[in-house]
Chain A
Amino acid sequence: MLQIKNLHANIDDKEILKGINLEVKAGEVHAIMGPNGSGKTTLSSVIAGREDYIVTEGSITLGDENLLDMKPEERSHKGVFMSFQYPVAIPGVTVTNFIKTAINAKRKSEGKEDIPAAELLKMIREKAKLLGLKSSFLSRSLNDGFSGGEKKRNEIFQMAMLAPKLAILDETDSGLDIDALKTVAEGVNKLKSKDNAVIVITHYQRLLDYIVPDYVHVLSDGKIIKTGGKELALELEAKGYEWI
């Protein structure tokens, strides 16, 4: 599904990614781990198309389409979803309004009419229930004054609504207590299917207790230096990154 070949990327003329190779197939969960500054967030940002990053070499394809030619919103329409480490607050725009705007933008790109209100409402109720979100939450301004846990749940709620092919969870566990972590992980697990894939980017192993990866990759200094199964994560937790 996702194929990354020899990816090099810069920010402010500084090379951060130095040749990443990664293949993610439908139905798989991949974890990317690594110390701070290894390039984890850069990798997710480059996949999602953040314009501050310049790709100097290599390719990223989703299915048979070249992602690098697309704007961030076009990648989103093709099914790339990125859960942000620091979701942005947008005062005055409610969670509902925001998601409606996002869904309709996607439908428009597919040549479809706007989603009928009734259908949308039904879907919102369903997915909100899945993540244990109250209806009062849905009429609050997006991420405005949300707690850390609320922000992350809101991210997964949007993921549920947009039903992406590829979900990238960037440090989703940061700032969450164990209960919030479980809720978020459960949400992700419920959304997992044989047709979609998940990339979990994390510094720590604890999220991987709940979202169990098929593969674990270790990122260091802009390169994947080791790949293994879920046991690799445990090993990293026990020994730190230095032993590799």
Chain B
Amino acid sequence: MKNKLIASFLAFENQISTETDTDFHKIRSRAMQAFEKKGFPTKKDENWKYTSLKKILKNDYTLFPDLPKNELELKEVSNYFLKGIDSYKIVFVDGVYNPYLSETTHDGFDVCLLSSAIKKTKYQIVLNHYFNTIVSDKDSFSQLNTAFASEGAFIHIYKNKIVEKPIQIVYFTTDTGKDCMLQPRNLIIVDENSQVKIVERHQSLSAKKVFTNAVTEIFANQRAHIDYYKIQNDEEDASLIDSTYVQQKKQSQVTMHTYSFGGALTRNNLFFYQKGPHCNTILNGITLIDKEQHVDNQTNVYHQSPDCESHELYKGIYDDKATGVFNGKVIVDQIAQKTDAFQQNDSILLSDESAINSKPQLEIFADDVACSHGCTIGQLDSNALFYMRQRGIPKKEAKALLLFAFTNELVDRIRIPALKELITNIVSQKLGVELGMDL
């Protein structure tokens, strides 16, 4: 696969641009060289100790899928969008922008495509200032994405804007006849005092194998508030490597919610860089998987300024042969005094074939800090189970309800009501809980 990617790089460069001396060309070439040198990670890499790529890399993915044969009808996919509310939408089908399903804007702020931003000169300053500036050069998947970066969402919220409508970024994959690999790239910039809510969803609509290697860069400038939600697939043959880099300036607040509902392999790499005092970072995660699915959450929070906070809570439920990984890292630099960092990972294993590997780490170089982490692995509370059975609820249903309650703390934190409903429905459906009817 590595060789194929290297070979395809030239073809790709030719396809998208005829000039070879642009800044973008340089960035891509450098990234390609970095990838060529490092190659794909293996289990020998400490950060890949619990996740093997063998299974997904053995497939022969096509890098340039044919255009989707059938136009997607809105009604076919309406379930995957937020219901009953207005929103901006940037929708891609098999890596290609779908204007029919999308709703973009340039009115007061930009919600559009990276490809079109690259082409227009008026965006050059912004792109030069932000694009590929915080991506880790040690992460070969991110380098690979950069090498092929051409399409994705471009969102730029100017100063002092509160964007009322949520923005949905949706990546659908359909049956294009071949297994394919996609490498979307998102760039999100939120300027001073602005606020935005973004929902990013990866959803495959067919049983074809698809491998997505996504990178998102997010810049939260002073006092910006960003609520970011990731909803990840529930199709079994989809694999996703999703790397998100977030740079926070002073007093900004970024909340990242990650909902992983399955796929052959899902890997989430989150990198947060706190570059000003009084930043607040909140990471929430729900993993709910079964069969032979694998979800690996890697969180890296770099406390590089004083008086910042970070709070992480990840919960996972694993059934059948599903395996989960939580590898959380909080790094507190010497300068980052008065850091308040908290990390918690709770897991429930429902079957003896399932497994969880958890590694909540703290690396602390400042003394005046309050940092803690916790990790629990266990089963359902037997008292709660007995309580429900005493009220006549059969064991199986009681268990499902308790699992639902286990995730509820996180679902409750969703600040878009339509999304809360959507996630509640997915979770209750996956757990076999019937809900509804409230007074």
Task: Give yes or no for direct A-B contact (beta carbon below 8 Å).
Answer: yes
Contact surface of A with B, Cβ cutoff 8 Å? 48-52, 71-73, 75-77, 80-82, 84, 86-94, 96-98, 100-103, 105-106, 109, 117, 121, 124, 135, 138-139, 141, 158, 162
Cβ-defined contact, A88 with B383, below 8 A: yes
Closest Cβ–Cβ distance, residue B426 to chain A (whole Å): 14
Q: With CB as the reference atom, state the residue of chain A lying closest to B424.
A: A92
Closest Cβ–Cβ distance, residue B60 to chain A (whole Å): 44
Q: With CB as the reference atom, state the residue of chain A lying closest to B435.
A: A97
Tell me, in angstroms, the Cα distance from A80 to B386 when the chains sit together. 13
Given contacts A88-B387, A92-B411, 12 further A-B contacts (CB under 8 A): A50-B386, A52-B382, A84-B387, A88-B388, A89-B384, A90-B384, A92-B409, A92-B412, A98-B391, A105-B392, A105-B393, A109-B392
Tell me, in angstroms, the Cα distance from A106 to B388 when the chains sit together. 12
B10 within 8 A of A: no
Cβ-defined contact, B389 with A93, below 8 A: no
Cross-chain contact of B393 among A49, A102, A141 (Cβ < 8 A): A102
B390 within 8 A of A: yes
Contact status of A73 and B387, CB under 8 A, knowing A91-B405, A92-B408, A96-B437: no
Contact status of A88 and B395, CB under 8 A, knowing A73-B389, A93-B401: no
Cβ-defined contact, B402 with A76, below 8 A: no
Cβ-defined contact, B392 with A102, below 8 A: yes
Q: Write out, one digit per residue, whether chain B residues 372-398 have a CB within 8 A of any chain A CB (1) or not (0).
A: 000000000111101111111111011
What is the count of residue pairs linking A and B with beta-carbon distances less than 8 angstroms? 97
Cβ-defined contact, A76 with B412, below 8 A: no
Contact status of A97 and B438, CB under 8 A, knowing A90-B402, A92-B411, A105-B394: yes
Cβ-defined contact, B404 with A92, below 8 A: yes
Tell me, in angstroms, the Cα distance from A4 to B101 when the chains sit together. 68
Q: With CB as the reference atom, state the residue of chain B lying closest to A125.
A: B439
Inter-chain contacts of B436 with A (CB < 8 A):
97
Cβ-defined contact, B387 with A96, below 8 A: no
Inter-chain contacts of B392 with A (CB < 8 A):
73, 76-77, 102-103, 105-106, 109, 162
Inter-chain contacts of A86 with B (CB < 8 A):
383
**How many B residues have CB within 8 A of the partner chain?**
31
Q: Write out, one digit per residue, whether chain B residues 401-439 have a CB within 8 A of any chain A CB (1) or not (0).
A: 110110111011000000000000000000000111111
Closest Cβ–Cβ distance, residue A182 to chain B (whole Å): 25
Inter-chain contacts of A49 with B (CB < 8 A):
389-390
Cross-chain contact of B438 among A51, A96, A109 (Cβ < 8 A): A96
Cross-chain contact of B439 among A96, A103, A106 (Cβ < 8 A): A96
Contact surface of B with A, Cβ cutoff 8 Å? 381-384, 386-395, 397-398, 401-402, 404-405, 407-409, 411-412, 434-439
Q: With CB as the reference atom, state the residue of chain B lying closest to A77.
A: B392
Closest Cβ–Cβ distance, residue B238 to chain A (whole Å): 28
Inter-chain contacts of A138 with B (CB < 8 A):
439
Inter-chain contacts of B408 with A (CB < 8 A):
91-93, 141
Q: With CB as the reference atom, state the residue of chain B lying closest to A52.
A: B382
Closest Cβ–Cβ distance, residue A120 to chain B (whole Å): 8
Tell me, in angstroms, the Cα distance from A100 to B433 when the chains sit together. 13
Contact status of A76 and B389, CB under 8 A, knowing A91-B408, A92-B404, A93-B405: yes
Inter-chain contacts of A87 with B (CB < 8 A):
387
Tell me, in angstroms, the Cα distance from A73 to B397 when the chains sit together. 11
Inter-chain contacts of A102 with B (CB < 8 A):
388, 391-393
Q: With CB as the reference atom, state the residue of chain A lying closest to B411.
A: A92
Closest Cβ–Cβ distance, residue B2 to chain A (whole Å): 45
Inter-chain contacts of A121 with B (CB < 8 A):
439
Inter-chain contacts of B393 with A (CB < 8 A):
73, 101-102, 105
Cβ-defined contact, A73 with B438, below 8 A: no
Inter-chain contacts of A106 with B (CB < 8 A):
392
Tell me, in angstroms, the Cα distance from A204 to B392 when the chains sit together. 29
Tell me, in angstroms, the Cα distance from A84 to B390 when the chains sit together. 10
Closest Cβ–Cβ distance, residue A98 to chain B (whole Å): 8
Closest Cβ–Cβ distance, residue A121 to chain B (whole Å): 7
Inter-chain contacts of B387 with A (CB < 8 A):
84, 87-88
Cross-chain contact of B390 among A82, A90, A92 (Cβ < 8 A): A82
Closest Cβ–Cβ distance, residue A127 to chain B (whole Å): 13
Cross-chain contact of B437 among A48, A92, A117 (Cβ < 8 A): A117
Closest Cβ–Cβ distance, residue B381 to chain A (whole Å): 7
Cβ-defined contact, B404 with A139, below 8 A: no
Contact status of A135 and B439, CB under 8 A, knowing A73-B392, A87-B387, A162-B392: yes
Inter-chain contacts of A73 with B (CB < 8 A):
389-390, 392-395, 398
Inter-chain contacts of B411 with A (CB < 8 A):
92
Inter-chain contacts of B395 with A (CB < 8 A):
71, 73
Closest Cβ–Cβ distance, residue A94 to chain B (whole Å): 6
Inter-chain contacts of B434 with A (CB < 8 A):
101
Cβ-defined contact, B386 with A72, below 8 A: yes
Inter-chain contacts of A71 with B (CB < 8 A):
389, 395
